[in-house]
Amino acid sequence: MNDFEKYFEANKAIWEEKTTHHEKSSFYDVPSFLAGQSSLNEIELEFLRDISGKKILHLQCHFGLDSLSMARMGAQVTGLDLSEKSIELAKKLNEQCQLNVQFIQCNVYDALDHLDEKFDLIFTSYGALVWLPDLELWTEIVNKLLKPDGECLIVEFHPYIYTFDFPKTDIKFSYKNTGLPYSESSANSYTDNSDHREMREYFWSHSIEEVMTGFIKRKYQFLNFKEYYYSPYNCFGNSVESQVGKWVFGGFNVDIPHVYALHVKKS
């Protein structure tokens, strides 16, 4: 992955910056979380009903709220993220919550260098895959880290929604991965409109076909696939709350997919 190192370093720097502001944001609402509120949404909870005692690896966990929420449900959780500040904050919150989540700072592509165990479930969600250039390699890493009969759950923003030039409704980005990163310079974050200094970030589009192909090649069992016509987060701009906790982008008169959930099992 040497060809991508300069992009990873730039993205790491921007997430170090974002973490400082995200900790204080109403979007993440850390005080409510510390008081016992779960950070998990109805969408992923449909698939995480019985995780007590299961070993779960949460890839790209940011500062760990979902990892800690799964631990509160009785799971044995390991969270992994690129950002040092995110992992430092996750460890602090883990201590405050008196939980036993293991947090590791590394690039997801280096996960095999940091983990010597296998997991019942690997979980990733909401804006994670867009930071990865190569899903074939990602799927191979997931495959090596799963136990026989282990499962992978992806709850992600739909690649269709990523084609828009937020907050405008113009189509700007390719639906599929061209192999080359998109690049934007921004001072904005999804938690508010002006929360950090201007920095450049790099990201990649991944079609549903690309996400599924690695699992199909490895003969995984497809347990479920769902598309959702709303986002549980008001993070795209130009969005309205169609129902409580359900945000719809763009004011279109037709349904467009915002999120998908893919649940697969290793054969």
Per-residue pLDDT tens over the stretch 234-251: 999 899 999 999 999 999
Residue 180 lies in a domain: no
Residue type, 260: Y
Residue 17 lies in a domain: yes
Residue type, 132: L
Domain range for 111 is 2-158+206-232+257-265
Inform me whether the pLDDT recorded for 94 exceeds 90: yes
Residue 173 lies in a domain: no
> pLDDT per residue over 2-18, tens digit each?
789 999 999 999 999 99
Strand 259-265 relative to strand 221-228, pairing = antiparallel
Query: Looking at the DSSP assignment, which residues form a beta bridge with residue 146?
Result: 119
pLDDT number for residue 195: 58
- Quick one: residue 219, left, alpha or beta (phi over 0 = left, psi -120 to 50 = alpha)? left
CB atoms within 10 A of CB 121: 23
Nearest one of 95, 110, 99, 135 to 5, comparing CA atoms: 110
Inform me whether the pLDDT recorded for 155 exceeds 80: yes
Query: Looking at the DSSP assignment, which residues form a beta bridge with residue 249?
Result: 239
pLDDT number for residue 190: 81
pLDDT number for residue 196: 62
pLDDT number for residue 185: 84
Residue 61 lies in a domain: yes
Mean pLDDT on 199-217: 96
**What six digits make up the tokens of 7?**
């992009």
pLDDT number for residue 88: 98
Q: Is the CB of residue 143 less than 8 Å from the CB of residue 59?
A: no
What domain count does the chain have? 1
Nearest one of 13, 205, 12, 20 to 127, comparing CA atoms: 205
Residue 177 lies in a domain: no
CATH, residue 140? 3.40.50.150
Which comes out higher in pLDDT, residue 230 or 195?
A: 230
Residues shown for the chain: 267
Mean pLDDT on 19-47: 95
Question: CA 149 → CA 21, 57, 219, distances in Å?
Answer: 39, 15, 12
Residue 243 lies in a domain: no
Contacts of 103 (CB under 8 A, 6+ apart): 61, 64, 67, 78, 79, 80, 81, 87, 90, 91, 94
pLDDT number for residue 197: 73
What is the SS3 assignment for 177-189?
Answer: CCCCCEEEEECCE
pLDDT number for residue 192: 65
pLDDT number for residue 131: 97
- Quick one: residue 136, left, alpha or beta (phi over 0 = left, psi -120 to 50 = alpha)? alpha
Confidence of residue 64 (pLDDT cuts 50, 70, 90): very high
Residue 15 lies in a domain: yes
Q: What is the mean pLDDT of the chain?
A: 95
Strand 259-265 relative to strand 102-105, pairing = unpaired
Residue 121 lies in a domain: yes
